[in-house]
């Protein structure tokens, strides 16, 4: 095993990680035996690859788009999970990093900058997606460090408030930086953003591959699927590493962690920056997918929603966070399609609009989860492993 | 010069409201070491309750001078009940839980309150009924109107009353004892749960008054008003030194001044690049600057996490 | 590294909290390879001194030398790297991590894999991970708690938790192992086996600093003992001498206890 070449190890690791990430989802637990693990993986992969077609056929094209957004949310939630779940730092302005990534892509991949700097960029800037993506991640990471450096040595609740403020500030700037130089186009936002191209295949138009017609939303689904897999992979590898253990030590007891030789400040900063980078990259994907960004997409409520995903699924538990992401990304749509007709049928009018009902449920979920099930919907990795061993019978 | 004086007046009036809200944060923090995220929403609920009850009372013909104290009392009682409930439901069960847990429930509470308020009062702005003529007075070219004068004086009076309560009464002594050392206070026969509940209720009553003041000053209230106001008042509390009552008052007034002077002059200072639409950003930069350079605030003790 | 120089040398350490002086003018040295005991009535400043040595508090006065280097204002993680490991009086384990993971975290300071290593998991990282796991298991065995390796730290018995703290501290490859009341709350059997463990640790060449309430344990285990009272050192020497010291007797019997 130890003589496996690096790329082989990476590939195997990726498969194994995907597998581990998914087979712990309860629905798949029945196939989690060793012999069936490989089978389960291929089955899952096939199911995921066919998902947009099934969704399209059963629910309609609009739902494929919803699934695409769900993937983006999962990526975001996994990024936030590094900060909140692994390192125990409450970041309430996480969406700001998403915004930084999205605007990075919007500026570097659209005609917009021609308005601000007609001399320098007569046609705007049109960098390729693969150049902007790392740029967006790095920029967001840089913002993370900038914000984290002064606040991370303070108590955790200060970080929460400062990040909360930071999220709002970014939005205020995005809303107002249309003058004197039109950088963000203010509340109108930036449109006509270049679509993502993968190896000269434009994802914005329907493509024929092997005689199968793949609409744009399907193509983006596969792109997001690949990125989500990558994020899951990275999260799992980080979790089971020296760095990940140090983060969890800080989460559990910061003083004991530093007494064990962990440089808590640097490692907290690292977690913050890593989370921000994931957020920035997801933001770039979002901008490319949507073709349009405006400050409206980056409100505090979005931060709260992503936090909810992490908390609901189980902080620090990757499979749980994925579950939380899926549930909460689909919930608003279910509410929209379920609650309104239901109220119409019952009362003849809409009394509670689905948007506020959604937020009410989020808020309620945060409270109830913390009070009654702080470990989240899925039992955590460690707890499960502990239950597997015979030596211990005690559970909470 | 008139502009300067005008900004000072506006800043002091706004700052006195911040101070009242900041007191709520700082009292809870002093006693529980916890940031009550939902406090801003209590301010909003206070404003809404006051406006609704005031409108109703005026509607049935109650004279304004009677309706005002009645609705103020109603808003204060409502907020006290709310503060009590928040503590019981969201904080008390988690008093010994990891620090992240009460923070998250607090966020949950504030989202719930905000959306409940939206369901009850809708998304639209509610206007504060005009009760008095609100005549403007000129001081050295700057304008101050009756409502502003009332707000400022009332806020100072309330703060003085609070100081008396904390430093001169039995209850105040119990509060200070719990803040100093919960365990020891308990051993000395102080009912900690009662003191904590009372603290939340006191803070919420102040929040209700502050909510009324804000909506009277601007003439408007909105379900979303609590969020930013709460953030700013928290900044004020940190600026003065969180956990310190005098600090919260000083921080509130200072922040009000910084904001209004900043908004008044940022255009000139930046050569027109930034305008007063950045007003809300100042509080945040003040917060960051305080945390970086003097995390203990102006009057507080060290807060950096240490054993 | 000269064996004749003391491992730890404190010179006139003082520590004030506000107006209160918790430690004043404490000087002592710990020789390599000895078990050094620190006793004193409640509130004498033992834990404060301990926190100064391990970097949790910064001394208000004086300085200390460890392994030939001077430290004055220092973070705990720097001192851990220099070779001081500690346990806590009120156990501070990583409660929601397994016993094995707790000890693995102790290896952090002696290993180097970063984010890139974690993501790529190249051969160096894999080897390091394996070494960390092996060493951690070895230490669990050494401390006599190999069986509950996969149990969450918070579900261990009290005695096991104490031992786990020691195993975790040993994982940092310390020169000086500082134990804050390791026998607190233990019964006679547990204390006896703790004593054996400490002797084994010393035999492996690690210097031990021990704060203890259990005077019997201290006297039977330590090579030298210092006594603190009201933040000052009132006696130091081999256990028999200290036991007879009138100042010590007065401190323990003369109402010096708070």
Q: Which pLDDT band holds residue C206 (cuts at 50, 70, 90)?
A: very high
Chain C touched by A7 (CB under 8 Å): no
The predicted structure's pLDDT at residue A33: 52
- CB contact at 8 A, A271 and A89: yes
Whether B100 has its CB under 8 Å from any CB of chain C: the answer is: no
pLDDT at B273 over 50: yes
Closest Cα in chain B, distance from residue C128 (Å): 32
Distances, alpha carbon A263 to alpha carbons B127, C53, C223, in Å: 53, 17, 34
Over residues C62-75, mean pLDDT: 86
Confidence of residue C213 (pLDDT cuts 50, 70, 90): confident
pLDDT at B1 over 80: no
The encoded tokens of residue C166 equal 């020691």
Cβ–Cβ below 8 Å for A238 and C97: no
Residue C46 lies in a domain: yes
Place of tokens 């995220």: B37
Is it the case that residue A14 has pLDDT exceeding 60?
A: no
Q: Is residue A81 a contact partner of residue A322, using CB atoms and an 8 Å limit?
A: no
Topology at the third CATH level for domain B2-132+147-293: ABC transporter involved in vitamin B12 uptake, BtuC (1.10.3470)
Of A262, A263, A392, the CB nearest to C148: A392
Nearest C-alpha neighbor of A48 from the set A22, A11, A66: A22
**Which residues in chain B are contacts of A369 at CB distance < 8 A?**
104
* ipTM of this complex: 0.93
Flag whether pLDDT at A352 surpasses 80.
no
Distance between CA atoms of residues C126 and C120, nearest Å: 10
Q: How do residues A221-238 score in pLDDT, each as one tens digit?
A: 999 999 999 999 999 999
Q: What is the pLDDT of residue A3?
A: 43
* Residues of chain B with C-beta less than 8 angstroms from the C-beta of A176: 274-275, 277-278
Confidence check: pLDDT of A248 > 50: yes
In the predicted model, is pLDDT for residue B288 greater than 50? yes
For position A244, what pLDDT does the model report? 96
Taking a C-beta distance cutoff of 8 angstroms, is the pair C103, C164 a contact?
A: yes
Give the pLDDT confidence score for residue A305 in this predicted structure: 86
C122 assigned to some structural domain:
no
Chain B contact for C50, CB < 8 A? Answer: no
* Beta-carbon separation of A362 and B111 below 8 A: yes
Contact status, residue A237 vs residue C122, Cβ threshold 8 Å: no
CB atoms within 10 A of CB A279: 32
pLDDT tens profile B11-34: 999 999 999 999 999 999 888 888
pLDDT confidence of residue B236: 93
Pairing mode of beta strands C232-237, C224-229: antiparallel
How far apart CA C148 and CA B301 sit, in angstroms, is 44
Q: Are the C-beta atoms of C35 and C79 separated by less than 8 Å?
A: no
Q: Which of A14, A19, A22 is nearest to A326 (CA)?
A: A22
Residue C147 CB contacts under 8 Å (≥ 6 apart), including other chains = A391
Cα A216 to the center of its chain, rounded Å: 21
Residue A286's SS3 state is: helix
Which one of C152, C154, C165, C172 makes the best mutation probe of the A interface by having the most chain A beta carbons within 10 Å? C152
Q: What is the spatial distance between Cα A319 and Cα A307, in angstroms, rounded to a whole number? A: 15
B–C CB contacts, 8 A cutoff, strictly below: 4
Mean pLDDT of A112-133: 83
Paired with C35 in beta bridges are: C208
Is C117 contained in some domain? no
The minimum CA-CA distance between A237 and chain C, rounded to whole Å, is 6
The pLDDT, as a whole number, for residue A234 is: 94
Eight-class DSSP state of A66: H
Residue C229 confidence (pLDDT) above 70: yes
| Structure-token pair, residue C117 | 């290593």
Does the pLDDT of residue A12 top 50, yes or no? no
Q: State the average pLDDT over residues A245-252.
A: 94
Residues of chain C neighbouring B307 (CB-CB closer than 8 A): 51, 56-57
To the nearest whole angstrom, how far is the Cα of A228 from the nearest Cα of chain C? Answer: 15
CA within 13 Å, CB half, B176:
14
Backbone phi, psi, residue C29, to 5°: -135, 150
What residues of chain B lie within 8 A of the CB of A162, using their CB?
287-288, 291
pLDDT confidence of residue C175? 95
Residue B303 contacts A, CB cutoff 8 Å: yes
Q: Which residue bears the tokens 């240490």? A: B306
The predicted pLDDT at position A380 comes to 58
C154 touches chain A (CB under 8 A): no
DSSP bridge pairs for C13: C26
The predicted pLDDT at position A26 comes to 41
pLDDT the model gives residue A192? 87
In A175-285, at which residue ranges do the beta strands (DSSP E only) sit? 197-198, 201-202, 207-209, 212-214
Q: What is the CA radius of gyration of chain C?
A: 19
Residues of A in contact with B99 (CB under 8 A): 155-157
Q: Residue B251 pLDDT more than 90?
A: yes
Q: Which of A260, A263, A391 sits opposite C106 (nearest CB)?
A: A260
Q: How confident is residue B303, by pLDDT bands cut at 50, 70 and 90?
A: very low
Q: Is C118 a member of any domain?
A: no
Which pLDDT does position A389 carry in this prediction? 41
Q: Is it the case that residue C18 has pLDDT exceeding 60?
A: yes
Going A225 to A227 to A228 to A230, the CA torsion angle's sign is positive
> Is residue A89 a contact partner of residue A151, using CB atoms and an 8 Å limit?
no
| B121-177 pLDDT tens trace | 988 899 988 877 778 888 888 888 888 999 999 999 999 999 999 899 998 999 888
Using an 8 Å CB-CB cutoff, list chain A residues near B276: none
β-strand partners of B200: none
Residues of A within 8 A of B108 (CB-CB) are 362-367, 370
Q: Which of residues 70-109 of B touch A (CB under 8 A)?
A: 89-90, 93-94, 97-105, 107-109
Q: Which residues of B touch A357 (CB under 8 A)?
A: 115
Containing A264, the helix (H) or strand (E) segment is helix A264-290
Residue A379 has pLDDT above 70, yes or no: no
CA–CA distance, C103 with C87 (Å, rounded to integer): 13
Average pLDDT, chain A: 81
pLDDT of residue A161: 81
Phi, psi for B112 (deg, rounded to 5)? -60, -45
Is B304 near chain C, with CB under 8 Å? no
- Highest average pLDDT, of A38-42, A136-140, A353-357, B293-297, comes from A136-140
In a domain, C151, yes or no: no
- A25-63 per-position pLDDT tens digit: 444 444 445 557 788 888 888 888 888 888 888 888 888
Angstrom distance (rounded) from CA C242 to CA C252:
12
Walk me through the domains of chain A, giving residue ranges and CATH numbers: 1-59 (no CATH), 62-388 (1.10.3470)
B191 φψ region: left (φ > 0), alpha (ψ -120 to 50), beta (else): beta
Structure confidence at residue A148 (pLDDT): 87
Q: In the 8-state DSSP scheme, what is residue B91?
A: I
Rg over CA atoms, chain B: 19
In this complex, the chains that touch B, judged by 3 or more CB pairs closer than 8 A, are A, C
Let me know if residue C94 belongs to a domain.
no
Q: How confident is the model at residue B304 (pLDDT cuts 50, 70, 90)?
A: very low
Residues of chain C contacting B306 with CB distance shorter than 8 Å: 56
Over residues B178-184, mean pLDDT:
85
Instruction: Write down the pLDDT at residue C256.
Output: 42
The whole-number average pLDDT for the span A84-98 is 91
- Confidence (pLDDT) at B55: 93
Residue C27 has pLDDT above 80, yes or no: yes
CB of A225 closer than 8 Å to CB of B277: no
Instruction: Look at residue C68 in the predicted model and tell me its pLDDT.
Output: 87
**In Å, how far is C242's CA from the nearest CA of chain B?**
32
User: Which residues of chain C make contact with A256, given a CB cutoff of 8 A?
Assistant: 88, 92-94
Q: Is the pLDDT of residue C210 over 50?
A: yes
Residues of chain B found within 8 Å of residue A367, distances taken between Cβ atoms: 89-90, 105, 108-109, 112
**Contact in structure between B282 and B259 (CB atoms under 8 Å):** yes
Distance CA B307, CA B301 (A): 15
Paired strand residues for C227: C39, C235
Q: Say how far apart CA A161 and CA B283 lie, in whole Å.
A: 12
The CA distances from residue A55 to A60, A310, A337, B81, B126, in Å, are: 6, 25, 16, 48, 44
Task: Tell me if C217 is assigned to some domain.
Answer: yes
Interface test with A, best of C58, C118, C123 (most A CBs within 10 A): C118
Radius of gyration of chain A (CA): 22
If pLDDT is split at 50, 70 and 90, which confidence band does B272 have? low
Contact A258 C114 (CB under 8 A): no
> Taking the CA of residue C42 as centre, how many other CA atoms within 13 Å lie in the half-sphere pointing to its CB?
3
| C89 domain residue, yes or no | no
Is C57 touching B (CB cutoff 8 A)? yes
Determine the distance in angstroms separating the CA of A179 from the nearest CA of chain B, rounded to an integer: 7
User: Is C164 near chain A, with CB under 8 Å?
Assistant: no
A386 CB within 8 Å of a chain C CB: yes
Q: Which residue has the tokens 């559990």?
A: A252
Mutate to test the interface with A, among B25, B40, B103 (most CBs of A within 10 A): B103
Residues pairing with A109 in the sheet: A126
What average pLDDT does the segment C106-111 reach? 94
- We report the CATH number of the domain holding residue C35 as 3.40.50.300
Please report the pLDDT score of residue C135 as a whole number: 96
Report the residue of chain C nearest A240, measured CA to CA. Answer: C118
Average pLDDT over residues B245-253: 93
pLDDT confidence of residue C196:
92
Contact indicator for A59, A258 with CB cutoff of 8 Å:
no
- Give chain C's domain count: 1
**Rounded mean pLDDT of chain B?**
88
**Interatomic CA distance for residues A147 and A91, integer angstroms:** 11
pLDDT at C45: 87
Cβ atoms of C46 and C136 within 8 Å: the answer is no
Domain extent for C185: 8-83+174-253
| Distance of residue B233 Cα from the nearest chain C Cα, in angstroms | 29
> Can you give the pLDDT at residue A347?
77
Q: Please name the residues in contact with A84: beta carbons below 8 A apart, sequence gap of 6 or more.
A: A90, A91, A307, A310, A311, A315, B100
Considering only the C-alpha atoms of chain A, give the largest distance between any 2 of them, rounded to a whole number of Å: 72
Asked if B231 lies within 8 A of A363 by C-beta distance, the reply is no
**Lookup: tokens for B125:** 């702005």
Averaged pLDDT of chain C? 89
The DSSP letter of residue B278 is: G
């Amino acid at each position: 095993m130890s003589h496996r070449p690096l790329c082989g190890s990476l590939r195997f690791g990726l498969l194994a990680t995907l597998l581990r990430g998914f087979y712990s989802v309860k629905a798949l637990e029945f196939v989690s035996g060793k012999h069936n693990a490989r089978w389960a993986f291929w089955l899952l992969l096939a199911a995921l690859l066919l998902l947009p077609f099934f969704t399209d056929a059963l629910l309609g094209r609009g739902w494929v788009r919803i699934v695409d957004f769900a993937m983006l949310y999962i990526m975001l939630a996994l990024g936030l999970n590094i900060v909140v779940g692994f390192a125990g730092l409450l970041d309430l302005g996480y969406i700001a990093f998403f915004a930084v990534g999205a605007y990075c892509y919007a500026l570097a991949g659209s005609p917009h900058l021609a308005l601000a700097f007609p001399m320098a960029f007569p046609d705007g800037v049109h960098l390729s997606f693969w150049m902007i993506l790392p740029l967006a991640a790095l920029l967001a990471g840089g913002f993370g460090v900038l914000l984290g450096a002064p606040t991370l040595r303070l108590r955790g609740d200060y970080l929460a408030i400062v990040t909360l403020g930071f999220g709002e500030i970014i939005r205020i700037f995005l809303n107002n930086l249309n003058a004197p130089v039109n950088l963000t186009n203010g509340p109108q936002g930036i449109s006509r953003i270049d679509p993502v191209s993968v190896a000269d295949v434009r994802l914005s138009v329907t493509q024929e591959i092997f005689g199968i017609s793949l609409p744009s939303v399907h193509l983006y689904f596969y792109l997001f699927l690949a990125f989500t897999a990558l994020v899951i992979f990275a999260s799992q590898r980080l979790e089971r590493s020296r760095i990940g253990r140090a983060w969890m030590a800080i989460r559990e007891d910061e003083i004991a962690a530093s007494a064990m030789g962990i440089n808590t400040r640097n490692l907290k900063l690292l977690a913050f920056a890593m989370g921000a980078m994931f957020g920035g990259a997801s933001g770039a994907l979002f901008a490319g997918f949507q073709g349009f960004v405006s400050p409206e997409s980056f409100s505090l409520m979005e931060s709260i929603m992503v936090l909810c995903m992490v908390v609901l699924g189980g902080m620090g538990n990757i499979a749980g966070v994925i579950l939380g992401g899926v549930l909460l990304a689909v919930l608003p749509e279910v509410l929209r399609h379920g609650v309104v007709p239901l109220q119409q049928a019952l009362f003849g009018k809409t009394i509670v609009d689905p948007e506020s009902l959604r937020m009410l449920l989020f808020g309620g979920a945060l409270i109830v989860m913390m009070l009654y099930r702080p470990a989240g919907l899925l039992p955590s990795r460690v707890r499960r492993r502990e239950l597997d061993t015979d030596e211990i019978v005690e559970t909470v | 010069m008139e502009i300067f004086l005008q900004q000072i007046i506006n800043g002091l009036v706004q700052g006195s409201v911040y101070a009242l809200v900041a007191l709520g944060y700082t009292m809870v923090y002093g006693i529980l070491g916890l940031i009550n995220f939902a406090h801003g929403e209590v301010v909003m609920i206070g404003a809404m309750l006051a406006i609704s009850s005031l409108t109703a009372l005026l509607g049935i013909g109650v004279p304004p001078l009677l309706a005002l104290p009645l609705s103020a009392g109603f808003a204060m009682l409502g907020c006290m009940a709310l503060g009590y409930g928040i503590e019981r439901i969201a904080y008390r069960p988690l008093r010994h839980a990891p620090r992240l847990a009460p923070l998250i429930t607090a966020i949950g509470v504030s989202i719930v309150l905000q959306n409940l308020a939206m369901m009850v009062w809708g998304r639209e702005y509610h206007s504060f009924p005009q009760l008095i003529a609100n005549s403007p007075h000129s001081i050295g070219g700057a304008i101050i109107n009756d409502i502003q004068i009332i707000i400022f004086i009332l806020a100072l009076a309330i703060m003085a009353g609070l100081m008396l309560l904390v430093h001169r009464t039995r209850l105040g002594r119990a509060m200070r004892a719990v803040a100093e050392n919960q365990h020891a206070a308990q051993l000395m026969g102080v009912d900690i749960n009662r003191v904590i509940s009372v603290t939340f209720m006191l803070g919420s009553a102040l929040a209700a008054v502050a909510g009324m003041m804000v909506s009277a000053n601007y003439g408007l209230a909105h379900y979303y008003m609590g969020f930013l106001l709460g953030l700013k008042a928290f900044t004020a509390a940190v600026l003065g030194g969180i956990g310190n009552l005098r600090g919260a008052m000083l921080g509130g007034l200072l922040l009000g001044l910084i904001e209004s002077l900043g908004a008044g002059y940022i255009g000139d200072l930046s050569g027109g690049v930034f305008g007063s639409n950045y007003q809300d950003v100042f509080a945040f930069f003040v917060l960051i600057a305080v945390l970086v350079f003097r995390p203990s605030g102006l009057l507080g003790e060290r807060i950096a996490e240490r054993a | 590294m000269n064996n004749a120089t003391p491992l730890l040398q404190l010179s006139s350490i003082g520590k004030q909290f506000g107006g209160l002086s918790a430690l004043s003018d404490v000087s002592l040295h710990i020789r390599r390879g000895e078990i050094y005991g620190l006793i004193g009535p409640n509130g004498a400043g033992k834990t404060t001194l301990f926190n100064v040595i391990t970097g949790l508090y910064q001394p208000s006065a004086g300085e200390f030398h460890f392994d030939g280097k001077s430290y004055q204002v220092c973070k705990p993680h720097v001192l851990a790297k220099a070779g001081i490991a500690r346990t806590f009086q009120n156990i501070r384990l990583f409660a929601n991590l397994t016993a094995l993971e707790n000890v693995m975290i102790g290896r952090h300071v002696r290993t180097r894999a970063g984010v890139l290593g974690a993501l790529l998991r190249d051969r160096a990282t894999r080897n390091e991970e394996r070494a960390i796991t092996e060493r951690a298991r070895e230490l669990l065995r050494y401390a006599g708690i190999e069986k509950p390796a996969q149990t969450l730290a918070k579900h261990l018995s009290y005695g096991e938790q104490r031992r786990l703290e020691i195993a975790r501290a040993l994982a940092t490859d310390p020169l000086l192992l500082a134990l804050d009341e390791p026998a607190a709350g233990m019964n006679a059997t547990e204390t006896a086996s703790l004593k054996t463990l400490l002797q084994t640790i010393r035999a492996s060449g690690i210097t031990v600093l021990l704060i203890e309430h259990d005077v019997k344990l201290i006297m039977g285990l330590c090579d030298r003992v210092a006594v603190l009272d009201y933040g000052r050192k009132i006696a130091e020497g081999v256990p028999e001498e200290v036991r007879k010291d009138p100042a010590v007797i007065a401190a323990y019997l003369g109402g010096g206890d708070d």
